[in-house]
A and B are shown apart, each in its own frame.
Chain A
Amino acid sequence: MPLEQDGTTLRLTGHCPVEDAEPLLDVLRATPDALVDLTGAAWLHTAVLQVLMVAAPALRGRPDGPVPAACLAGLPTTAAG
């Protein structure tokens, strides 16, 4: 399960497929002040990226590559933990 919740911190790890978009959305709706930790995420599916763009949570870390970077450019970042 690449999606783990620890209080208000959500951790996405490894390869996050399209199926993760819906649970992620549910958690983000329920947790408005969530912090999403992407340090362990290798690849986020477009649908997951879209959820992050809409919910605009605070992020920690970014997956590699220019595409996620371009998608998530506008979102607030906290120091990588």
Chain B
Amino acid sequence: MTNALLAQFIPEARELLERAGSGMLALEKAHSTEALDEIFRAVHTLKGTSGLFDIAPLTNLVHAAEDLLVEVRAGKLTLEPEIVDGLLDSLDLVGHWIDVLETREVLPDDAEAAMSGRVVALRGWLEAGGPAAAANAADSQAAPDWLGALPEVERQAAYAAGAPLVAWSYEPDEACFFRGDDPAHLVAQAPGLVGLRVLPRGPVPPLEAYDPVLSWLRFEVLCAASAEAVSEHLRYVSDQVQVSPITPEDLIVLEGPEDDAEVFGDFGARARLLVATGARAELKAAAAGLLGIIGPATRQAGALRWIAALSATAAADALLRLVSAIDGAAPGTAPTGPAAAGVTTAPPPAAVPASPGAETPLRQRAEAILAAQAEMLAVPVDAALNAGRLESVRTVVRRCLRHLAPPRAEALSAALARSGDAAALLAVLRDAADVSPAAAVAPAPKVAQKPAVPAAALPAGPSPEAAESGPGTGPARMLRVDQAKVDTLMNFAAELVVAKNGLAYLAGRVEQVSGSRQLGREIKEQYAVIDRIAQSLQVGVMAIRMMPVSQVFQRFPRLVRDTTRKLGKEVELVIQGEDTEADKNVLESLADPLIHMVRNALDHGIETPADRVAAGKPARGTLRLSARQENDNVIIEVADDGKGIDPEVVRDKALRVGLITPDQAAQMASEDFVNLVFAPGFSTKEQVSDLSGRGVGMDVVRSAVRKAGGDVWLASRLGQGSCVTVQLPLTMAVTRIVTVESHGQQYGVAMDAVAETVKVPQRQIHRIKQRETFVLRDAVIPLVRLADSLGLGPAEGAPPDEEAVMVARIGRERVGIVVDGFRERMEVIVRPLDGLLAGLVGFSGTALLGDGRVLLVLNLPDLI
């Protein structure tokens, strides 16, 4: 990825989405202010950070979600399951976009359309929440910039109609006539149509070359109707329209050349008095009188026409804003804000706007934002970051342009046009700051610079907020490091652990060759020191990679919720031991198998509420996900209290598909049958469902787990439930092995697999049919000769009186493996076989010994 800023944004966004998602589920169960705050912070931070990139649909969607959360937090809206669904779906969409961003660095083409649909849905709930909420929602989204182009009379009519108002643009696609669309008819039938402009989308083709079957129009429409009604009307062309709810104030767009006649000052003073005294008729007359003597095309004339049109109906503060726009000291200011600090002292106290924050002059805010950008640009960074930073600053500046005074906006757009020139942009930005010192001292910029920086501050992020809030403001100081770097460190640590083994070998050599026991002992002492340090280093690096199992578990509340809703079942998810830690790679390899298992449990295991009640169980099933550490393993269990697996059914099915022979079936215990579900191509459920049961699930689970060096097995009691247990090594980097000898060759065996080592006298070895067995503490254990398994041929000379037997655990079976002898224990890095050796069965890899020899490490399950 070329944009380093974006590369940082992506993992951060994912983390925020995850936090928001899990918070949402917690919130649905029980109302908790903390969870709500957490979601809000996550969504808010995401919105803020996303603004740095050119991904407006994402920002808008997150913004809509945030607005909804604001209402929930204020207690104006209750979090219904449907709303949670909507929010989760929106977050999913954002997550999908993040994935696309990661690969393509741009949003998918349909993002805009997908966004508007979601936003309308989210805003719909807002509006349902109450009129106050509706006003807020409309407020928070920027009005489309073409509003000012609509005829003034139509805008005034819409203003008179009042909220809800919707502005939408519609660009029927070129081929729409072929589908039978009549765009003009669709527009004409729109609910509450009050304003309309039709214009060509691009250059109009000349008459000679004109093709009458292609559409090339763009409609800009103003409707006095709710956003849902409009969206419903446009549902078949939703990919071609953009719908934005607006407030009546958005309609007052004043354009035209400035007229600086002194007469406006007099009018302003008089008009304020008239507004304060409520003499609306006189106000209208005064406006009309002034209109008669000035040019109709000026900005002031526009404002006067608005005053004349609204004088009878509008609220006092709206009129005062228009008056300020006429005589204000800050021409060009967006008309929704009172002009400047000096002028706002004039209106009577009654007219002071209720919410000062919303009324702060937009220009001052824009100034403050620009000043912050200048500051940020001035901080030196390396080239990789610089490109992304410059891009984000350019985006921010571009967005500020329309709120700035025209000469400065021109200077800035000129600087923007010279792409890549950071110094020039910085110079112009700084100029801008100097031109308006008022902006720097006014209290407004502080508000603007810190739009409520979330308590959980961004981790050393690239945003202007983070640049401003120095180090130590976050709750914990975190370091975001590329996993590859930690992996490299881990590899070196592991190499060191192995290399130090060479010292022990060297000490032995010194004693042998030079006969100096003293020197040998000193080397051994040094070895002990290095050993200790290497161990600590390894533990330390491993701790970096250790992650709590909750990282994997946290997606399950959502999965269980969605799946059970789909299946019409009721399931309580119990999660235990989520603090258990395991290596990141191990956890990642576990994620997909776990999803399979949980889906299986929900789909096949737990019954419908009716069936459960009939079976005398509580209607609500329980799914237990638990994790714990056992020695060097993580044990993860997925247990349900559902109907369990019928071993008879499994046996019949296995016989039918030929997985086992009747002879084998006769020898198997019932718990062996249930474990047949892990065999490839086995699915107990006859019917393939949308969720699981395609006959690949458990097979895939087992191969994934085995690949990660673990094992999986299943226990089930008919009618009472099933429990799938996954055992995985804590870490995959360094393996403890024991070396065994057979025919003069040494082989490694992972220590985890070895239960014990025993000497078995020849006479205690019995033959049962083809197999040799022996009895260990009242249990019959089958024997396998390693030399036979490896095809090394029979041993020379007389068999020894006692056989060295390694009792190994394979799954939950115990098997005795006859070897010639045991050698040493050591820690090695097992390197997988690749290249020509990749196909070799029976070996899990190779390891390098201290003396430089290569050791083959056995994969016992393959051999037996």
Q: Which residues of A contact B (CB under 8 A)?
A: 18, 21-22, 24-25, 28-29, 43-47, 49-51, 53-55, 65-68, 70-71
Q: Are B204 and A54 in contact (CB under 8 A)?
A: yes
Across the interface, name the chain B residue whose C-beta is closest to A48: B212
A55 to B210, CA, bound (A): 9
- Chain A residues with Cβ below 8 Å from B200 are 53
| Assembly CA distance A4 to B206 (angstroms) | 24
| Chain B residues whose CB sits within 8 angstroms of the CB of A66 once the complex forms | 188, 193, 196
Task: Indicate whether B182 reaches chain A with its CB closer than 8 angstroms.
Answer: yes
A50 and B217 contact, CB distance less than 8 A: yes
Given contacts A46-B217, A50-B215, A51-B212, contact A18 B188 (CB under 8 A): no
Residue B520 CB within 8 A of the other chain: no
Say yes or no for B822: interface residue by CB 8 A criterion.
no
Within 8 A of A (CB), among B170-197: 172, 177, 181-185, 187-188, 193, 196-197
Instruction: Check B196 against A29 for contact (C-beta < 8 Å).
Output: no
Q: Are A25 and B184 neighbours in the complex by a CB distance under 8 Å?
A: no
Q: Which of A21, A24, A28, A49 contacts B184 (CB 8 A)?
A: A49
Given contacts A66-B196, A70-B196, contact A46 B184 (CB under 8 A): yes
In chain B, what residue has the closest Cβ to A44?
B184
A71-B184 in contact given A28-B207, A29-B207, A53-B204 (Cβ < 8 Å): yes
B197 and A70 within 8 A (CB)? yes
Inter-subunit contact A45/B212 (CB<8 Å): no
Is there a chain A Cβ closer than 8 Å to B208's Cβ?
Answer: yes
- The answer to whether A55 and B207 touch (CB under 8 A), given A46-B185, A49-B184, is yes
Chain B residues lying within 8 Å of A65, measured Cβ to Cβ, are: 188
Q: Give the CA-CA distance A14 to B212 in the complex, in Å.
A: 20
Which residues 205-229 of B sit at the A interface, judged by CB distance below 8 A? 205-208, 210, 212-213, 215-217
- Residues of chain B lying within 8 A (CB to CB) of residue A24: 212
Beyond contacts A28-B207, A29-B208: 8 other A-B pairs, Cβ-Cβ < 8 A, are A22-B213, A46-B177, A54-B206, A54-B207, A66-B193, A66-B196, A67-B185, A71-B198
Which residues of the other chain, A, contact B183 by a CB distance below 8 angstroms?
46
Complex contact A46–B182 (CB within 8 A): yes
Please tell me if the beta carbons of B193 and A50 are within 8 angstroms of each other in the complex. no
Q: How far is the CB of A48 from chain B (nearest CB, A)?
A: 8
Of the A-B pairs whose beta carbons lie under 8 Å apart in the complex, a sample of 18, sorted by A's number, is A18-B177, A18-B182, A18-B213, A21-B212, A22-B212, A44-B184, A45-B182, A45-B184, A46-B183, A50-B215, A51-B212, A53-B204, A54-B206, A66-B193, A66-B196, A67-B188, A70-B196, A70-B198
With a cutoff of 8 Å between Cβ atoms, the chain B residues found around residue A45 in the complex are 182, 184-185
Q: How far is the CA of A45 from the CA of B212 in the complex (A)?
A: 11
Interface residues of B in 744-776 (CB under 8 A from A): none
CB distance from A41 to the nearest CB of B (A): 13
Which of A43, A47, A71 neighbours the largest number of chain B CB atoms within 10 Å of its CB?
A: A47
Count chain A CB atoms within 10 A of each CB in B182, B205, B208, B216 and give the residue with the most: B182
Partner of A51, one of B181, B193, B210: B210
B216 partner residues in chain A, CB cutoff 8 A: 50
- When distances are taken between beta carbons in the complex, the residues of chain B under 8 Å from A51 are 210, 212
The residue of chain B having its C-beta at the shortest distance from the C-beta of A55 within the complex is B207
Q: How far is the CA of A71 from the CA of B302 in the complex (A)?
A: 24
Query: How far, in angstroms, from A51 to B215 measured CA to CA in the complex?
Result: 10
Which residues of B lie under 8 Å from residue A29 when comparing CB positions? 207-208
Shortest C-beta distance, A43 to chain B (Å), equals 7
User: Which residue in chain B gives the minimum CB-CB distance to A65?
Assistant: B188
Closest residue to A29 on the B side, CB-wise?
B207
Q: Which residues of chain B are near A70, meaning CB under 8 Å?
A: 196-198
Answer whether A68 and B184 are a contact pair too, CB < 8 Å, given A18-B177, A46-B177, A54-B204.
yes
CA–CA, A63 to B206, complex, Å? Answer: 25
A residues near B213, Cβ cutoff 8 Å: 18, 21-22, 47
User: B212 contacts which chain A residues (CB < 8 A)?
Assistant: 21-22, 24-25, 47, 50-51
Question: Nearest chain B CB to A64's CB is how many angstroms away?
Answer: 10
Q: Which residues of A contact B185 (CB under 8 A)?
A: 43, 45-46, 67
When distances are taken between beta carbons in the complex, the residues of chain A under 8 Å from B187 are: 67
Which residue in chain B gives the minimum CB-CB distance to A18?
B177
Pick from B177, B196, B204: contact of A67, CB under 8 Å = B196
Chain A nearest CB from B133 CB (Å) reads: 31
B208 partner residues in chain A, CB cutoff 8 A: 29
Nearest CB in chain A: distance from B215 CB, A: 7
Find the residue from B183, B193, B212 having the highest chain A CB count within 10 A: B212
Q: How far is the CB of A76 from chain B (nearest CB, A)?
A: 16
Q: How far is the CA of A24 from the CA of B207 in the complex (A)?
A: 12
Q: Which residues of A contact B204 (CB under 8 A)?
A: 53-54
Point out which of B183, B198, B217 has the most chain A C-beta atoms below 10 A from its C-beta: B198
Q: Considering the chains assembled together, what is the distance between the CA atoms of A71 and B61 in angstroms?
A: 33
Interface pairs A-B: 10 shortest CB-CB: A21-B212, A46-B184, A67-B188, A70-B198, A70-B196, A67-B184, A71-B198, A46-B183, A25-B212, A22-B212
Among residues of B, the one whose C-beta sits closest to the C-beta of A26 is B212
Nearest B-chain residue to A24, judged by Cβ: B212
Residues in B neighbouring A22, C-beta threshold 8 A:
212-213
Q: Which partner residue on chain B sits nearest A73 by CB separation?
A: B198
- Given A66-B188, A70-B196, A47 and B177 touching (CB < 8 A)? yes
Query: A67 to chain B: which residues have CB within 8 Å?
Result: 184-185, 187-188, 196, 198
How far does the alpha carbon of A27 sit from the alpha carbon of B103 in the complex, in Å?
53
Q: Identify the closest chain B residue to A46 (Cβ).
A: B184
CA distance A47 to B204 in the complex (A): 14
Chain A hits for B210, CB < 8 A: 25, 51, 54
B510-537 CB mask vs A (1 if < 8 Å, else 0) is 0000000000000000000000000000
Q: How far is the CA of A66 from the CA of B157 in the complex (A)?
A: 14
Q: Which residues of A contact B172 (CB under 8 A)?
A: 46
